[in-house]
Amino acid sequence: MLLNCFLAGQVFMGFSLLGGTSAQAAEAEGQRVLSTWMWNPYVIGQEADSTLQQLTNKGINRVYLFVDSSYPAPYYSAFIRKANAQHIEVQALGGAPNWVLPEHNKKLYEFIDWVKSYNRSALPEERFAGIHLDVEPYVLPEWRKDSDTVIGLWKDTVSGFVEEVKSDSTLTVGMDMPVWLDSFQVGDGQGGRTTLSDWLIRRMDEVTLMAYFNKAQDIAASVQTELAAADQAGVPVLVAVDTVDSGEPGTFYGKGEALMVQELAALQEKLIIHPSFKGISIHEWDSWIKMN
């Protein structure tokens, strides 16, 4: 229930999710979005009702739900319908580091085609509201060998993603980004140069910055360049923290939910000056709900 208190007004000025506001409506009203990644779609089957209750208890109004195409469409439609009734927006989540490589790039388009085909056959209240891309090619061995080439492939992948989604749908396009991409310079398409983070931000409807630190000061410092670029571009940004047992020092794993709430409260105060700052994402659902 900590996040309920957190969202009810102790932390996020503008959050009033307990009254039941969808993520899209919240953004339209100037309120904040609180989202999470749900990588294990099995919980939306037999555990759908209890999962939705837990999401509501946490104050979540957006879920990035991993799409496993081996599950039948009704498996997703039943959950999305119930989620929408609880004012929780659901976006389709997909991606893998190697999707940027030519030999694997078709998987991106198969994912997009599945989501659009699903939406065409679903009732309005059963449809995905957007597609959220998690492609992190910097973990590939190819990146260590030749990052410039992989960055070029990444840019092509992102451009193709946006073009394909927008070609015949109104789905929101978003993506996950680490907070250090401003250290790379790329062509801006107009004869000049810009940061890779700025280039990516300007092609998205929204971005989620993976600022995986557990102190508000460090989180805020890590996203300043990206938020400034997003302010200028008019692109909404969510700032994400981590709760996974990753072995990395910046995770909230083992720190307790109370500390996370405290740090996110302080983070809100630091970031609210940015018009692009629209809320918080917490990675990821399975690990978050196990926090004490």
d(CA 240, CA 248): 15
Q: Rounded distance, CA 61 to CA 88, Å? A: 4
Q: What is the pLDDT of residues 154-205, one digit of tens each?
A: 999 999 999 999 999 999 999 999 999 999 999 998 999 999 999 999 999 9
Distance in angstroms (rounded) separating the CA atoms of residues 237 and 14: 16
Contacts of 167 (CB under 8 A, 6+ apart): none
CATH number of the domain that 144 lies in? 3.20.20.80
Q: Confirm if 105 and 157 have CB atoms less than 8 A apart.
A: yes
Helix locations, the chain, DSSP H = 2-5, 23-28, 48-58, 73-85, 106-121, 141-145, 147-166, 196-201, 216-233, 257-271, 285-288
Quickly state the pLDDT bin for 46 (edges 50, 70, 90).
confident
Domain total of the chain = 1
Answer yes or no: is pLDDT of 30 > 80: no
For residue 282, the enclosing domain spans 2-288
User: Confidence band (pLDDT; 50, 70, 90) for 278?
Assistant: very high
Q: Which amino acid is at 10?
A: Q
Radius of gyration of the chain (CA): 18
At residue 220, does pLDDT exceed 60? yes
The per-residue pLDDT for 19 is 34
Q: Which amino acid is at 24?
A: Q
- What is the DSSP secondary structure assignment for residue 88, as one 8-state letter? -
pLDDT tens figures, 128-159:
999 999 999 999 999 999 999 999 999 999 99
> Judging by beta carbons within 10 Å of its beta carbon (0-12, 13-18, 19+), is residue 46 exposed, middle or buried?
exposed
